[in-house]
Copies of this chain bind each other. A is one copy, B any other.
Amino acid sequence: MNGLPRSGDGSPEPSCVLLSGGVGGARMAAGLQEALPPGRLSVLGNTGDDFELLGLRVCPDLDTLLYTLAGRAHPDQGWGLQNETWQCMHALEELGAPCWFHLGDRDLATHLVRTEALKQGRSLTGVTADLARALGLKTRVLPMCDEAVGTRLRTREGLLDFQDYFVRRGQRDRVLEVEFAGIRQARATREVLEALAQAELVVLAPSNPFVSIAPILAVPGLGQALAQSAARKIAVSPIVGGRALKGPAAAMLESMGHEVSALGVARLYSGVVDEFVLDLEDEHLAPAVASLGMMPRVLPTVMSGPRERLALARALIRP
């Protein structure tokens, strides 16, 4: 059993846990990975977006994390691999199979290996560690839990599975409520609890608070472990200037009755974190954040490239 290296070794960098959803979280993970000594970072990935396609277990957020941390993610599109090919998908289309979710040829290998390992009884935590090792990662990528949890969105069209809402229907539905099917049967894993127990810094990535961070915090035992942790806890706003950098976070804030701003997000994390990072553009919200009992920090949060994400990570690490 390998614990996280503690920074009691004299190094100034803290053991860090990142709670992460998709692309924004993966970029922050890559920045922290670069800023910290090898092995000092654990990323807790949301698995509420997971689904089954053609019998394959697909874990979009874990895969985006793995591919981004391995330096293999597609640089622009926010999912999938760079230099991907689509021969299998073209053939699937010809055979009339559902193709609304894009499965690249190389990406398919990940789903095949994971699905088979799960079928053989390996845990999602175990197979994710296997994949990370095969990709040469030193960072630990930990699913939020081993049990299947399904994020579902209540809309006027009824309850939609996450990928149905997100990919198939193109986020066009107004989200009235979010629920996590199966969450009561889930348990925080030994690996997640260990990482949280040893963490000196916990970061909530600038991911969607409702569908990326909330499911992680909702895993029984996980939220309590975070609350009990003595680590510094920081959240980074996914909303900059009232807009989400990517995805439906702003639309969800609005449709679920929250202020569409970084302050709206800060209110959701009140009591969960000690510090809240606002973008330079939102500096005027700092006093309101402070009045929620969180220390506001104002930083350039837009990770437009490797340099920006590294700079942000370094700023987060510094107390």
A90: chain B residues at CB < 8 Å are 106
Task: Determine whether A283 belongs to the interface, using a CB cutoff of 8 Å to chain B.
Answer: no
User: At the interface, yes or no: A280 with Cβ under 8 Å from chain B?
Assistant: no
Contact of A109 with B by CB under 8 A:
yes
Q: Give Cα distance in the complex from A97 to B110, angstroms.
A: 10
List, in ascending order, chain B residues with CB within 8 A of A256's CB: none
Question: CB-CB contacts of A102-120 with B at 8 A, as 1s and 0s?
Answer: 0011111110110110010
Given contacts A85-B87, A87-B85, A87-B105, contact A54 B112 (CB under 8 A): yes
Residues of B within 8 A of A88 (CB): 88, 105-106, 108-109, 112
- Give me 15 A-to-B residue pairs in the complex whose CB atoms sit less than 8 angstroms apart, sorted by A's number: A54-B116, A55-B115, A55-B116, A55-B119, A87-B105, A87-B106, A88-B106, A88-B108, A90-B106, A92-B112, A92-B113, A95-B109, A97-B109, A97-B112, A108-B108
Query: A134 interface residue, CB < 8 Å from B?
Result: yes
Chain B residues in 8 Å Cβ range of A84 = 87
In the complex, what residue of chain B is closest to A103 when comparing beta carbons?
B112
Determine the main DSSP class of A at the interface with B: helix
A312, B55: Cα distance in complex, Å: 42
Measured CB to CB, the nearest residue on chain B to A87 is B105
Q: How many copies does the complex hold?
A: 2
A1, CB-defined interface residue at 8 Å: no
| List of B residues within 8 angstroms of A106 by Cβ | 87-88, 90-91
Is the CB of A240 closer than 8 A to any CB of chain B?
no
Cα–Cα distance between A103 and B108 once the two chains are bound (Å): 12
Report the minimal beta-carbon distance from A26 to chain B, rounded to whole angstroms: 19
A126 to chain B, nearest CB (A): 14
List chain B residues, Cβ under 8 A from A89. 109
